Amino acid sequence: MNYVYILKCRDGTFYTGYTNNLKKRIKTHNSGKGAKYTRGRIPVKLVYFEEYTSKKEALHREYVIKKMTHEDKFRLIKSLNLENAVIKKL
């Protein structure tokens, strides 16, 4: 499975990424070995994700989300009300 995810960083900003192993990727971000953007903003919290069967679809969706404004990402997260429930699913 391929995932597009949004993390909420310690400073309130959002980071959007792609992975094929969501649980491992979140641990990598929080260990300080993830993306350069998140290294200085840990801890991060998973607030949103989508699943895709193809890598191509997931990468396209990641691109679309990265182009969204902070407010648009916030609305996307809130529309699915996942901010507090998502980590328990992993």
In the chain, domain spans: 2-89
- Measured between alpha carbons, how far is 81 from 68 in angstroms, rounded to an integer? 18
> What tens digit of pLDDT does each residue of 10-26 get?
999 999 999 999 999 99
Which CATH number is associated with domain 2-89? 3.40.1440.10
Q: Report in angstroms the alpha-carbon separations of 3 from 11, 40, 46.
A: 24, 23, 12
- Measured between alpha carbons, how far is 4 from 15 in angstroms, rounded to an integer? 11
- Measured between alpha carbons, how far is 3 from 5 in angstroms, rounded to an integer? 6
Q: Please report the sign of the dihedral spanned by the C-alpha atoms of residue 32, residue 33, residue 34, residue 37.
A: positive
> What tens digit of pLDDT does each residue of 2-11 get?
999 999 999 9
- Measured between alpha carbons, how far is 17 from 37 in angstroms, rounded to an integer? 11
> What tens digit of pLDDT does each residue of 46-82 get?
999 999 999 999 999 999 999 999 999 999 998 876 5
